Amino acid sequence: MKITVFKHEWKIMRRRYSTWLLLGLLFSALLSGWFNGHSHAAALKQKIERIVGEQEEQYATLKNSFLEGSTEELKAAESPGKYGGLHSLTLPVQPLAALTVGQSDISPQIIGVGVMNKQRLPQDRYGYENPIHLLNGAFDVAFVIIVLVPLIIIAMSYDIIADERERGILPLLLAAPVSMPQLLIGKIVLRFILVAGTCLLTLLISMIFSGQGPSISLPMFWTWMIFTIAYILFWFALAAFVNIGRSSSVRNAIRLSMAWLAFVVIFPALVHVLIEMVHPVTPRLKAVNAAREKPMEYYAEKPRLAEQWYQRFPELKTEAQNAVTVKESFGAAFWLLQEEMDRRAAPVDKQIESEIARQQELLRFLSLISPSIALREAFNLISGTDVSRYQSFRKQAELFRLEWRKFFLPRAIHAHKMTPKDYMIIPVFDFKEAAGKSILFQLGLNIIGIGLLTLLVVLKVRHKQTDTSNMLV
């Protein structure tokens, strides 16, 4: 690259109002994207903190009233399980969630656990988000980078060579001691620095001013930036590739717009349809249908259900209960029934889980055809708002629910009183993030996808550049 080309180009560009207009647009879009995503993530975080706080308070009250010799009701093992969603499991909000709303607007961040069956869990009463807003998607930094940045790149660079040629300046330029590749690269590199620099600076400024600075892990932030830069590079490489031909600036603009349409809109839509066709996901209602099959009457079914329960967990059966003499209460019958309903739904749930996993696998493979798909996946992963993390949360919550039930149900059906010791050993949920390795592996796959595409385009450009003799016309 010749530094003179770079300097001259900068002189021209900084006098053009369109440069500042485009950069200003990028700046304000990023800023408002940040503001919007940040307020979404902050609300989510606040909600989780409040719920966790309330829950701890509730437990403290239970424990204290127990120690102070409380009412019988509180001592009964039924109590903690009585309120279907007494125990709320929460998925922590990741520091970079403000950058990508991802799936966090539609997937539950809080899952209630209790002894009730699944159609009665609190998360089934969720879903008040305006569906039109979910359809349109969130205006966050990820959206700005994936959708808007390429448009700004196209607007800045569709005519870098064609314009010179159309005005008849190109022969003059090439008469100077500068080659065509030098000219092209100089122009592209300057624009790349402007766009990437604006992105980096805006994000840094917004993070620092919103007080998010200290909480953000630097490696994650730089991973985010590396992906962004790779994506910006891809679009500039594409612009260079289009510019190197002999076509007019109008044709370049159309070609680049078509490329944008293909990569950002059409490919994702087609990939989505393809995935849905190859691995359709069973509707969740099917699990409910299965659970409600053969409606049962609590009392009539109780002995059989109790028998079944102790066959599954013989270790929970004590000497005294060998005869399966469970307490003749409404609760015992009702809760055993809840357990039975969930057991019926379990195969469908498992099937859905594996179908989603297969979809994700296929998507990871297909994301190689469009950098915007790969980037969206990567952004969601880095921000912790990706499908896999929510699926993992669901799965862990489900396992915890079984543990919770295993703890309370035997105590409840025998109407055991809770002891202080019991309160100490109530199961505690701790969300385990996917191992760092697997996330890195996924990110790696995606970045290789983007990198390969960019490389392919650049190689093609260099190949074409060797023949510039007829470019002056």
Partner 1 sequence: MLVRIIRKEVTELIRDHRLRIFAAGIVVLTAVALCVGLVHHKNVQAFRQESQLLTRQQWEKQPARNPHGAAHYGIYAIKDSPVLSFIENGISDFSGYAMYLEAHYQNPMRYRSAEDATAISRMGNFTAGAMLQYYFPLFIILMAYPCFASERENGTLRQLLAHGVSRHKLFWGKAIAILGIQAVLCLPIIAISLVSIWYLSGSESEPILRFLLMISGLMVYYVATALLTLSVSAIVKRSATALAIMLGFWFITTFVAPVVTTAIAEQLHPVPSAEDFALGINEDKLKGLDGHRAGSDSYRAFVDSVLQHYNVKRTEDLPVNIYGLAFQKGEDYSNTVMDAHYDDLTSIYEDQARVRRSVAAFVPFIAVRSWLMGLAGTDFWHHAHFHRFAEDYRRTFVKILNDDLAYYEGHLTTKDREYQFATDPHFSTLYAKMPHFQYIRPELSEVFTVNQSYFAILIFWCLGLLACCFASAKGLKP
- Looking up tokens 């690269």, which residue turns up? 185
DSSP summary character for residue 92: P
Range 330-349, binding partner 1 (CB under 8 A) = 330
Q: According to the binding rule CB under 8 A, does residue 454 interact with partner 1?
A: no
In angstroms, give the least distance from the CB of 312 to partner 1: 24
H helices within 89-161, ranges in order? 131-136, 141-143, 149-157
Query: 143 near 40, Cβ under 8 Å?
Result: no
Q: According to the binding rule CB under 8 A, does residue 257 interact with partner 1?
A: yes
In angstroms, give the least distance from the CB of 139 to partner 1: 4
Nearer to partner 1, 199 or 352 (CB): 352
In angstroms, give the least distance from the CB of 253 to partner 1: 6
Q: According to the binding rule CB under 8 A, does residue 118 interact with partner 1?
A: no
In angstroms, give the least distance from the CB of 47 to partner 1: 6
Beta bridge partners of 111: 89
Candidates 67-75, 287-295, 420-428, 447-455: pick the segment binding partner 1 (CB under 8 A): 287-295
In angstroms, give the least distance from the CB of 143 to partner 1: 6
Range 5-64, binding partner 1 (CB under 8 A) = 32, 36, 39, 43, 47, 51
Nearer to partner 1, 68 or 297 (CB): 297
Nearer to partner 1, 232 or 341 (CB): 341
Q: Per-residue string for binding with partner 1, 234-253, x by CB under 8 A?
A: --------------xxx--x
Q: From CA 80, how far away is CA 425, in angstroms rounded?
A: 13
Q: From CA 200, how far away is CA 205, in angstroms rounded?
A: 9
Candidates 185-193, 284-292, 444-452, 456-464: pick the segment binding partner 1 (CB under 8 A): 284-292
Q: CA 283 → CA 4, 142, 356, 361, distances in Å?
A: 62, 29, 11, 20
Candidates 215-223, 238-246, 291-299, 437-445: pick the segment binding partner 1 (CB under 8 A): 291-299
Phi, then psi, of 110 in degrees rounded to 5: -130, 130
Q: According to the binding rule CB under 8 A, does residue 284 interact with partner 1?
A: yes
Query: 308 near 87, Cβ under 8 Å?
Result: no
Beta bridge partners of 113: 87
Q: According to the binding rule CB under 8 A, does residue 289 interact with partner 1?
A: yes
Q: From CA 51, how far away is CA 93, in angstroms rounded?
A: 13
Residue type, 40: H
Report the SS3 class of residue 174: helix
Phi, then psi, of 417 in degrees rounded to 5: -80, 145
Q: Per-residue string for binding with partner 1, 130-159, x by CB under 8 A?
A: xxxxxxxxxx---x---xx--x---x---x
Can you tell me which of 157, 223, 243, 360 binds partner 1, judged by CB under 8 A? 360
Q: From CA 142, how far away is CA 102, in angstroms rounded?
A: 9
Residue type, 94: Q
Report the SS3 class of residue 318: coil
Total number of residues binding partner 1 (CB under 8 A)? Answer: 84
